[in-house]
Amino acid sequence: MHSGVKWKCPEEVCCISANYLQNTILKKMGEEDISRILNLEYGNPLYFAYCTPKPCRETVLNDLKALPEGKSLEDKFYIGFFENDSLIAIMDFILSFPKEDTIFIGLFMMDSKESGKGKGSAIIAEALTTWKSEGYKKVRLAYMKGNMQSRNFWRKCGFTETGVEKENEHGMAVIMECNCLQFPEFPLEERIEVSSYHMT
Read off the pLDDT of residues 4-41 as tens digits, 9 standing for 90 and up. Answer: 344 443 333 433 344 446 778 899 999 999 999 999 99
Read off the pLDDT of residues 181-192 as tens digits, 9 standing for 90 and up. Answer: 876 654 333 332
**For residues 86 and 63, what is the distance between their CA atoms, to the nearest angstrom?**
21
Provide CB contacts within 8 A for 116, sequence distance 6+: none
Handedness of CA 3, 99, 47, 9 (dihedral sign): negative
pTM of this structure: 0.82
State percent of the chain over pLDDT 70: 80
Query: Shortest CA distance to 164 belongs to which of 174, 154, 151?
Result: 174
DSSP symbols for 77-116: EEEEEEETTEEEEEEEEESS-SSTTEEEEEEEEE-GGGTT
